[in-house]
Structure 1
Amino acid sequence: MIGRIRGTLVCKQPPDILVDVAGVGYDLQVPMSTLFQLPELGADVTLLTHFVVREDAQLLYGFIDERDRALFRQLVKVSGVGPKLALTILSGMDATEFARCVQRDDLSALVALPGVGKKTAERLLVEMRDKLKNWLGQWAEAGTSVPAAGYVPATDKVADAEGALVALGYKPAEAARMIAAVNDEHSAGSEDLIRRALKAVVSR
């Protein structure tokens, strides 16, 4: 099992990234909570990983934060939640935010995420409550910071942001509306647009 990967970040196309390790390129899928913390292209990066083997594919998921990987591994154990949905959940909220969401029984925040229906959200709240109750304190103390994204030309950043939301499960028209609602002069780049659009959905 691949538990960690270290190499040069050569491509970012949310939610997919490519890391070059001694000449071998590894494709990984990462949640937005990790994407927002990645360095610039060409920089060294170290990611914790979760390896999934299926009959038709071998998939590698990457995480900067151990808390996010731990939550991902717990989420995929919940009935009806696979790796893709777990990635979507962690793109809408990081591990600390999810823990607080469970603590508050915030059904609406979960249902706002694509692919999470009411029954799945209720199942998540019930099954994750006991697993998360002891983690919330230490996670809150650790805190999570999100660095500012670099500048990207306007047309590219909008297209990239919309494409990332579609890859997470949003319909193209819905993704376009979400990005349009947060695209203003304060938008630094596609990653910033994605982060603000996802935050707006969860906070409704």
Structure 2
Amino acid sequence: MAPTSKPTSEKQREPSCGSPGEGFCFSSPLGYINVTACADGLHSIGLEGNISDENFSPNENVDVQLMGKDELKNEPKVIRDCLQWFQLYFKNPKLVSDITRPDICCFKESNLGFRPRVWKTLADTVGPGEVITYGALAARLDNPGAVRAVGSAMRYNPNGIIVPCHRVVRSNGMGLYHGGQRQVVKLWLLKHEGIDKFS
């Protein structure tokens, strides 16, 4: 599948910073990753195309590269940081713990809404090779009754993988990913991070 000329995220939302951002595309073992960002941070990250449980075809031999660009020096810092993050993640997920996470625009608001608080708490506290239940994440937000709302936040997470909604699981199983349409992607990500108990 060839990348689109103007990458767009499957979960694009109105950015909190007010900037429309610019689209970029990375190659990866999972397929093309579309990223939208402005100078202040990431707006959205998503896998390109109609990936589903039926047609998911990962290729671990694919290197992570910024498509259509020969030099990176003129690209926004957040894109260079994002590229490095994904290169390390697909090489060895634990390596991303040693670098700074790329800036995410919605995390910079002075008064975070519920969903951005969920996403930030998840990204800040659940690292590669770890999982957390919806209930435990709600409790971590000092809102133990918000299990359904946490699940909704995961469904609408605009910055997949870097904000690791794949690490949020049910107390009795793996839980859904992308509305239940990409269970094999979630399983691949967890296994890539060394979590085999859902196989």
- TM, length-normalised to structure 2: 0.30
TM-score (norm 1): 0.29
Identify, as 1 or 2, the structure richer in helix: 1
Structure with the higher fraction of residues in strand conformation: 1
